[in-house]
């Protein structure tokens, strides 16, 4: 059984799939079951930082940065996307990133309580809850 907004990855070709509507079936790619991705939430011991960090502003905007120290953004190692997801999972905002982009996302007028997650091409999925 899949759940809404779970992420799955194919270990053969690297496809990543996000569940839009929950279902009973098994997700399969390249003839093999896809692996559900579990988000890391603590990277204190890591050299590169991955856990999303929130900078809330007085104008009801928020900047989501990847890591307490900026994450590398080179072809061999970069953040592929950042998502902001409302706690009720009814609203999702995603920003795709590329090497040389700054690893951040700005939200304007997003007053709901939410969590953010990001995907590193090497270290996988990471998430954190906003304040």
Domains of the chain: 7-36 (2.20.28.100), 52-129 (2.60.40.730)
Cα–Cα distance measured from residue 41 to residue 115, given in angstroms and rounded to the nearest whole number: 11
Q: What pLDDT shows up at residue 57?
A: 83
pLDDT at 85 over 70: yes
Q: What confidence tier does 67 reach under pLDDT thresholds 50, 70, 90?
A: confident
Beta carbons of 105 and 52 less than 8 angstroms apart: no
Alpha-helical regions (H) of the chain: none
For the full predicted model, state whether its pTM sits above 0.85: yes
Three-state secondary-structure class, residue 35 = strand
**Residue that the structure tokens 């997700």 belong to:** 27
Q: What confidence tier does 93 reach under pLDDT thresholds 50, 70, 90?
A: very high
Q: What DSSP assignment string belongs to 13-32?
A: T--EEE-SS-BSSPPEETTE
Of 57, 46, 125, residue with least CA distance to 85: 125
Q: What pLDDT shows up at residue 121?
A: 95
Q: What pLDDT shows up at residue 56?
A: 85
The lowest-confidence range among 48-52, 97-101, 102-106 is 48-52
Averaged pLDDT of the chain: 92
Q: What pLDDT shows up at residue 19?
A: 96
């Amino acid at each position: 059984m899949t759940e809404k907004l779970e992420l799955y990855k194919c270990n053969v070709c690297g496809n990543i799939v996000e569940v839009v509507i929950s279902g009973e079936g098994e997700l399969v790619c390249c003839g093999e079951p896809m692996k559900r991705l579990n988000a890391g939430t603590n990277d204190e011991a890591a050299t590169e930082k991955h856990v999303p960090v929130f900078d809330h502003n007085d104008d009801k905007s928020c900047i989501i940065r990847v890591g307490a120290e900026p994450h590398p953004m080179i072809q061999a190692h970069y953040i592929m996307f950042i998502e902001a997801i409302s706690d009720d999972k009814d609203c999702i905002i995603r920003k795709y990133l590329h090497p040389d982009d700054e690893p951040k996302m700005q939200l304007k007028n997003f007053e709901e309580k939410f969590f953010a997650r990001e995907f590193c091409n090497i270290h996988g999925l990471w998430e954190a809850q906003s304040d």
